[in-house]
Amino acid sequence: MDRRRASYSLSRRWHAWCVLACLATLFPSGAWAAEAGRKANQEPKKKSGGTAFQASRKDPIFITSNWMEADRKKNTITYKGQVVAVQADMTMRSETLTAYYDPAMKQLKEAIAEGKVQVVQGDKNARGAKAIFNGKTKTVTLTGSPVVRQGNSEVSGSRITFFIEEDRAVVEGGNERVKAIIFPEEFQDREKGAGGPGKGR
């Protein structure tokens, strides 16, 4: 039993190093990263209580899975089996995760998560069959009976698109109409907590 645990621990450690090595190809050189970090520090911090999910520009991404393949010819990195990606306070779970990157620009072009996709950040929870992150438009599109819940309120449709840098989300109906369950008192409580118009009333 101890031998199995030691072997499992060693394989997990080796896998972590592989993940870090592959992720290094997704990010730019040190000079560019330092400049990006400097700009990120100068930008005002967004509050996490908005409508859309918010991604960090400077926090590292930690990914674990049962299997991983890096294909330099196709410029892809694929993770399979109980994939968990964590960045700051955001966690995404899926069955597979495929990242497509541009080696010339040294940046992530697109990432596709498939199979029981779930994204959690604070009191926001989104789920669907597929999620696509577009690096150019800075959007995350959720399909496959997507549902987004914040507190007890929730909304569903055929397609939900999060505009990360604009703190907004668009819900589209297709074969089914958009459905929403909203608890107004929850939004009032959040406004009071954030020092909004409800404060002091």
Question: Taking 50 as the threshold, does the pLDDT of residue 39 lie above it?
Answer: no
pLDDT at 25: 33
**Domain assignment present for 25:** yes
Confidence of residue 2 (pLDDT cuts 50, 70, 90): low
Higher pLDDT, 9 or 85: 85
What domain count does the chain have?
A: 1
Averaged pLDDT for residues 141-161: 93
Number of neighbouring beta carbons within 10 Å of residue 187: 16
Averaged pLDDT for residues 117-141: 92
pLDDT at 105: 65
**Domain assignment present for 198:** no
**Mean pLDDT of all residues in the chain?**
75
**Domain assignment present for 200:** no
Q: pLDDT, tens digit, for every residue of 106-115? A: 778 999 999 9
Q: Where are the alpha helices (H) located in the chain, listed in sequence order?
A: 2-24, 30-42, 184-193
Half-sphere exposure of 11 (CA within 13 A, CB side): 10
Domain span at 138: 2-193
**Domain assignment present for 189:** yes
**Domain assignment present for 172:** yes
Sign of CA pseudo-dihedral 168, 106, 11, 114: positive
pLDDT at 195: 59
Rounded distance between C-alpha atoms, residue 180 and residue 173, angstroms? 12
pLDDT at 110: 93
Averaged pLDDT for residues 143-167: 92
CATH of the domain at 16: 2.60.450.10
**Domain assignment present for 188:** yes
**Domain assignment present for 201:** no
**Domain assignment present for 199:** no
Q: What is the DSSP letter of 57?
A: S
Averaged pLDDT for residues 69-77: 92
